[in-house]
Amino acid sequence: MKELLKPIGIYPLVYFRILFGLLMFCEGIGAVLINWVQEHYVEPTYHFGYIGLEWMKPLPGNGMVYLYLLMALLGFLIMVGWRYKISAFLFFLLFGYSFFCEKTHYLNHHYLIWLISGLMVILPAHRKYSLDVRRRPELESEVAPQWTLWLFRAQLVLVYFYAGVAKLQPDWLAAKSMSIWMANKTHFYVIGPYLNTPFMIQTVVWGGVVFDFLIGFALLWSRTRLVAFWVAFTFHIFNSAVFHVGVFPYFMIAANVLFFSPEQIARWFFKKRIVPEAMQHLPLKQPRWQLQLGVQFFILYLSFQLLFPLRHFFIPGDVNWTEEGHRFSWRMMLRTKRGYVHYLVKDGATQHTVYVQPSNYLVREQLRELPKHPDMIWQFAQFLKAEYERQGMERPEVYAVSTLSLNGYPPHPIVDPTVDLTSVSYTWGAKSWVTPRPEADGWPWLW
Q: Is the pLDDT of residue 371 over 70?
A: yes
Q: What is the pLDDT of residues 8-18, one digit of tens each?
A: 999 999 999 99
Q: What is the pLDDT of residues 286-337, one digit of tens each?
A: 777 777 898 899 999 999 999 999 999 999 999 999 999 999 999 998 999 9
pLDDT of residue 275: 84
Q: What is the pLDDT of residues 384-395, one digit of tens each?
A: 999 999 999 989
pLDDT of residue 1: 65
- Residue 127, Cβ neighbours under 10 Å: how many? 24
pLDDT of residue 154: 97
pLDDT of residue 257: 98
pLDDT of residue 34: 96
Q: Is the pLDDT of residue 281 over 60?
A: yes
Q: Is the pLDDT of residue 443 over 60?
A: no
| Of 78-92, 175-189, 399-413, minimum mean pLDDT range | 175-189
Query: Which is higher by pLDDT, 392 or 189?
Result: 392
Per-residue pLDDT band at 444 (split at 50, 70, 90): very low
- Where along the chain do its domains lie? 7-312, 336-440
pLDDT of residue 446: 45
pLDDT of residue 291: 79
**Is residue 413 a contact partner of residue 435, using CB atoms and an 8 Å limit?**
yes
pLDDT of residue 276: 83
Mean pLDDT across the chain, nearest whole number?
Answer: 93
What's the number of CA atoms in the CB half-sphere (13 Å) around residue 285? 15
Query: Which is higher by pLDDT, 194 or 55?
Result: 55
User: What mean pLDDT comes out for the span 384-409?
Assistant: 95
